[in-house]
Homo-oligomer: A and B are copies of this chain.
Amino acid sequence: MMIAKQTQPEPKNLISSEKMEAFIKRIDFKKGEGLVPVITQDTRTKDVLMLAYANEEALRLSFSTGLAHYWSRSRRALWKKGETSGHVQNIRLIDTDCDSDALLYLVDQIGVACHRGTWSCFDSVSEEHERAKP
């Protein structure tokens, strides 16, 4: 029974369905024609890793799976971060700002965030990260 549960894990909802629905309802997706910008920050280092976009579905999946999902503007498709690279982002918290038109994903980054193989999509952050290594 335990093994079955481990191989078929329950969805890892970050918050209750009611809280998720209330949160999603607050978000102003209209301003950005269905998309809101998402700042992704690593929980442990507090480094800013990337800026991406989410539509309602991506936000909903991020909450319900605990893994960061975005909307890829270039591919015009839902994007589960790390789906091919394995560099997933385990979400610790999702927040929005004072006018509910931006999101903050606080994540534990597995591997690196940038497709170039760097820690962050921002070079100065990656450089600082490299310098801080023991």
Contacts and interface: CB of A to CB of B under 8 A. Distances in A.
A97 B46 contact: no
Contact of A46 (B47, B50, B73, B118): B47
Interface string A104-127: 101000000011101001111100
B121 A98 contact: yes
Interface residues of A, number: 29
Contact of A124 (B51, B93, B122): B93
Nearest to A74: B99
A37 interface: yes
Given A37-B37, A46-B46, A51 B121 contact: no
A48 interface: yes
Interface of A: 31, 37, 39, 41, 45-48, 50-51, 73, 93, 95-99, 102, 104, 106, 114-116, 118, 121-125
